[in-house]
Structure 1
Amino acid sequence: MGLLSLAIWTPIAFGIVLLALGRDEQAGTVRWVALVGSIVSFLVTLPLYSGFKLDTAAMQFVEKASWIERFNVNYHLGVDGISMWFVILTAFINVIVVIAGWEVITRKVNQYMAAFLILSGLMIGVFSALDGLLFYVFFEATLIPMYLIIGIWGGPNKIYAAFKFFLYTLLGSLLTLIALIYLYIQSGGSFDIAAWHKLPLSATAQNYLFFAFFAAFAVKVPMWPVHTWLPDVHVEAPTGGSAVLAAIMLKLGAYGFLRFSMPIAPDAAREWATFMIVLSLVAVVYVGLVAMVQQDMKKLVAYSSVAHMGFVTLGFFIFNPLGVSGGLVQMIAHGFVSAAMFLSIGVLYDRVHSREISSYGGVVNTMPKFAAFALFFAMANCGLPGTAGFVGEWMVILGAVKFDFVVGLLAASALIFGAAYTLWMFKRVYLGPVTNDDVKELTDINAREFVVMALLAIAVLYMGLYPKPFTDVMEVSVANLLQHVAASKLP
């Protein structure tokens, strides 16, 4: 087994072990096995960075074995500068989620922990797959554990939210499956994604393929106007589910644009770039305004995620190195910051059992350590310089200004809206006098919660102050992608 196979199957194997452990009487053992499994799974991914060659756009750590010989389907894995960091990010967030759910989850603990470990392995499979059918299997399989996480451990309307999540994402994926079969036929019976990048497709075929992929990836991002499932799902999902959904699962859609839509249908991608930019700007501006009027903290951060992911798709479709690299950096930064925001809301919810902003006020008086972390993450969510939230947004804005000043100006307005809704929420929840008995009786974060907050704070600060390791890895691969997209593939 190569490194990527270990990264995929280690958490899945630990997840299966957890399912075998059984009843809640063994919850203590289950938690420790889950923690060991998540840490081992994270450590397995670290050699991907230490052994990564920065001077090539070729796939690295490649593994290939025949899977379904009759249809020429291969178990084909590899990462480049676009996908490598997402493998490590997925494994890191999994460790955080296991620690965060340590005391909070008391029912079906083994199934809860197993669902996250298996989900982690499947998402790493999405980022590593170089075979079209293998990608599709991993991409669709991620729905199952997340559906169960929402449907079993979610809030009062969990069944409605789980069905909405499943149906929205499944419907678009069916069109993608048709596109994959079409490409398989056109390439003479190959599911090799790299071979698909070289196919001379007609303008009509490219347009159909672009929108077939768009149906799956735009819903997953989610882009406006197919974003309406996200706030409902976030509100009902358990804290760990919200953290993983925002930090990793939304990235699967954005990653799909870079791996499928743009390189396979480059002429269609350029033709529909204005359409994609308009949708992205609507997400950045309009959804930012929608976030401002939310009374539920989780809904506010969910809409904030839609606005931040609007930056990502905007960066991709302005077709310059700053924009695409900025979009990728924003994806990684959003992984840290959004996970931190949802876990912070989870800390309050575990104590007060309310997500309504009006239920709080003056939390800083009773939870000063936690309030300090919450302020730091709120600033990162606003895009404060020195935090991870700033780097990607700044790169995308610079790229957008180079592309078109008005586009850059509209994109920059997100920094204002982001500061408005995030700081207004912080003011009403944390600052001022204590407003009710629930807040008066709050206790500050314990050692476990401190570790979770500290790990995320270190990641957000490190990336904000020194983004070079992230940008260096993606530079050559981004340049190669843009060069490929610039060259017409019309026969």
Structure 2
Amino acid sequence: MSYLLLTLLLLPLVGSALVFAWKNPASKFLALGIAFVQMFLTFYMLSNFDFKPTVDGVLQYEINYPWSQFIKSNLHFGIDGMSMLLVLLTNILTPLIILSSFNEKPGYRNTFYGLILLMQFGLVGVFTALDGLLFYIFWEVTLIPIWLIAGIWGQENKKIAFTTKFFVYTFVGSLFMLMGLIYVYTQSASFALTDLYNANLNPSEQTVIFWFIFFAFAVKLPVFPFHSWQPDTYTYSPTQGSMLLSGIMLKMAVYGLLRYLLPITPEPILGISGQIVLVLAIIGIVHGALIAIIQNDSKRIIAYSSLSHVGLMVAGIMASAILTVKGTLVIEGAEGAMVQTFAHGINVVGLFYCADILYKRFKSRDIRQMGGLAKVAPKFAVLFLLILLGSVGLPLTNGFIGEFILLKSVFDYSGLAAIFAGLTIIFSAVYLLRFYGKAMFGEGDEAILASAKDLSTVEFSVLASLAVFVILLGVFPQPLIEMVNSSLKFIFTSMMN
């Protein structure tokens, strides 16, 4: 059934070309239709996907054709549980992100929607590529459309500065990753993922490669102190650009850590390198949360919140990796990170859309200039609260189980580290409930509130869809855990050998 994966890869690329070519306001409906077909195809593939824990390391829907014997690289794609989770996230969020723009009138709209579909093509390629060179190519493909989206439709007086900074950070990081992968390739039989895993690298070489590749992922996540591009980029990008960046694009780095970095360079994890990454992740948790507390710009609150939540994901992954390389197979931290990756994607997209809705009502992102919206927009108040509570990690919401597993994994490694990591839960409640309280309650401008309306059909459709996932995955998180279990067992077992 490899044709299904081939269709999944090519549909957004072909769709992007069609949308680019159709210079018509109705191009948004074509883009939305293609994105929905992609989503339904993903659900069909999921319904035929075997992710039982007994099928360790088995790929499904595999495509493998030689394309360059000179550099020993194949067009090799496949899906395991970890890939399936992230492809599912990508193809659920993309149609909702497109739909969220239907009340807007962006200039060059066919270009805008074509770039979103082109980015979807790159993301699916990243999550399914099983060849190091192919992974890098798709990694770079995703940079071009998001850079153009931010640069063309971003905030006019800020876009040159923040898009330049974003591009330089991510492009330089990607070059370091390419150099690392090329060196590993020279010590192995080909760019095939299994050959990269078995490369003949001594501990010193592994340490250098670890930092080269980690730098690219640290920038993309981002991990403290490589995060300075993030707040401005998230704040001044158009809402759909912020959604794509935070909801899906940073998940490429979480995936890269688990799929490439840790299995290729397990030795440094036991030494100072593993400790440094864990400490940086915990600093990011606390730093992001503290900065979010004092922010008044709604989008910057969400940006720093994302930095804090990503830090917890990295801390959980590294805690499990260190214990595994020591000789005890522990995958809980990686499981928690993958579950939280999915939950964070849903929640952060919802929060950015809520921030956009607030901006349209109050004509400001400053939460001090908001207030009282709950009494005139009750549907928005309820859906905003559900998505916000998911991000806080309230039990029976999608953010709870991932955070719980992550904190347990960090605690299993170090009680002291878990104390600092646990601050993310306390602080997130502080800054997000402050955000909600300022916007929805209190005394607002009566003139603004008199003209403010509750959710439009488009706004309600997007937020209600996201809220369904917040509740559904909070009540039934087990399918996500089972989906990634066998993949992570295979990866972490390879680190022990």
Residues 60 and 78 in structure 2, CA contact (< 8 A), matched pair in contact too:
yes
Specify the SS of the correspondent of 2:81: coil
Please report the RMSD computed on the Cα atoms of aligned residues, expressed in angstroms.
Answer: 1.3
- CA distance in 1: counterparts of 2:44 and 2:430, whole angstroms: 41
CA drift at 1:59 = 2.0
Q: Does 1:40 align with 2:37?
A: yes
**Structure 2 partner of 1:184:** 185
* Amino acid corresponding to residue 417 of structure 1 in structure 2: F
Residues 22-171 of structure 1: pairs in structure 2 closer than 5 A: 22=23, 26-27=24-25, 29-53=26-50, 54=52, 55-56=54-55, 57-156=57-156, 157-171=158-172
Report SS of the residue matched to 1:70: coil
SS in 2 for 1:317: helix
Whether the 8 Å CA contact 2:90–2:123 is kept in 1: the answer is: yes
Whether 1:353 aligns to 2:363 is yes
Is 1:446 the counterpart of 2:456 in the alignment? yes
Q: What is the aligned partner in structure 2 of residue 220 from structure 1?
A: 220
CA 1:293 to 1:36, structure 2 compared with 1: closer, same or farther past 3 Å?
same
- 2:207 aligns with 207
CA contact (8 A) 1:209 1:265 kept: yes
| One-letter code aligned to 1:18 | V
1:401 and 1:179 map into 2 onto residues whose CA distance is 32
Query: Hey, what's the Cα distance between the residues in 2 that align with 1:9 and 1:460?
Result: 30
Give distance in 2, aligned partners of 1:321 and 1:178: 29
- Do 2:103 and 2:458's aligned partners in 1 also have CA atoms closer than 8 Å? no
- Give distance in 1, aligned partners of 2:283 and 2:4: 40
Cα distance in 2, alignment partners of residues 79 and 217 from structure 1? 21
Tell me the CA shift for residue 58 of structure 1: 2.0
Q: Aligned residue for 2:275?
A: 274
User: How far apart are 1:436 and its partner, in Å?
Assistant: 4.8
1:195 to 2:195 alignment: yes
In structure 2, the CA distance between the partners of 1:315 and 1:223, relative to structure 1 (3 Å rule), is same
Alignment-mate amino acid for residue 481 of structure 1: I
- Residue-by-residue CA offset, 1:177-235 (whole Å, 9 max, x unaligned): 111211221114x1101111122310011001100101100000100011111110011
Which residue identity does 1:434 align to in structure 2? G
Q: Does 1:8 align with 2:9?
A: yes
Distance 1:449 1:290 in 2: 29
| 8 Å contact kept, 2:289–2:308 | yes
Contact 1:311 1:330 in 2 (8 A): no
Q: Distance in 1 between matches of 2:188 and 2:495?
A: 19
- Contact in 2 for aligned 1:327/1:396 (Cα 8 Å): yes
**In structure 1, C-alpha distance between the alignment counterparts of 2:343 and 2:84, rounded to whole Å:** 15
> Distance in 2 between the 1:128 and 1:106 partners?
32
Matched to 1:352, the amino acid is F
| AA aligned opposite 1:103 | N
Identity among equivalent pairs (%): 33
What is the match of residue 262 of structure 2?
A: 262
Q: Name the CA distance, whole Å, in 2 between partners of 1:31 and 1:482.
A: 43
Contact 1:365 1:434 in 2 (8 A): no
State the partner residue of 1:303: 304
Q: What's the counterpart of residue 21 of structure 1?
A: 22
- SS state at 1:187 partner: coil
Contact 2:187-2:200 within 8 A present in 1 as well? no
Residue number in structure 1 paired with 2:437: 427
The aligned counterpart of 2:231 is 231
SS of structure 2 residue aligned to 1:83:
helix
The corresponding residue for 2:408 is 398
Q: Does 1:460 align with 2:470?
A: yes
What CA distance in whole angstroms lies between the structure 2 residues aligned with 1:407 and 1:486? 24
Distance 1:130 1:482 in 2: 17
> CA 1:429/1:351 → structure 2, altered by over 3 Å: closer, same or farther?
closer
* Residue aligning to 2:373: 363
Q: Deviations over 1:267-315 (max 9, x none)?
A: 1123222111111111111211111001100000000000000111011
> Aligned AA for 2:392?
C
Give the match's secondary structure for 2:82: coil
Alignment of 1:284-295 (within 5 A): 284-295=285-296
Residues of 2 paired with 1:336 and 1:162: CA distance? 25
User: Is residue 82–residue 474 contact of structure 1 (8 Å, CA) maintained in 2?
Assistant: yes
> CA shift at 1:115, angstroms?
0.7
Deviation at 1:350, TM superposition (A): 2.9
8 A Cα contact 1:77 1:129, kept in partner:
yes
Query: 1:408 maps to which residue?
Result: 418
CA distance in 2, matches of 1:111, 1:459: 30
* Partner Cα distance (1:297, 1:43) in 2: 33
1:82 partner SS: helix
Instruction: List structure 1 runs of 4+ shifted beyond 6 angstroms.
Output: none
Matches of 1:364 and 1:161 in 2, distance apart?
Answer: 34
Partners of 1:106 and 1:174 in 2: CA distance: 33
What is aligned with 1:475? 485
> In the alignment, is the contact (CA less than 8 A) between 2:386 and 2:470 conserved in 1?
no
| TM-superposed deviation, 1:240 | 0.9
Corresponding letter in the other structure for 2:376:
T
Q: Deviations along 1:159-181, whole A, 9 cap, x unmatched? A: 22211111100011111111121
Counterpart CA distance in 2 for 1:395 and 1:368 is: 34
Q: 2:259–2:491: 8 Å Cα contact kept in structure 1?
A: no
For the residues of structure 2 that align with 1:212 and 1:47, how far apart are their CA atoms?
A: 38
**DSSP-derived class of the 1:74 partner:** strand
Is 1:374 matched up with 2:384? yes
2:313 corresponding residue in structure 1: 312
Q: What displacement does 1:477 show? A: 1.7
Q: Distance in 1 between matches of 2:48 and 2:275?
A: 38
2:336 and 2:402 in contact (8 A); partners too: yes
Q: How many residues align?
A: 482
Unaligned runs of 5+ in 2: 321-329
**What CA distance in whole angstroms lies between the structure 1 residues aligned with 2:354 and 2:371?**
15
What is the alpha-carbon distance in structure 2 between the residues aligned to residue 5 and residue 166 of structure 1? 30
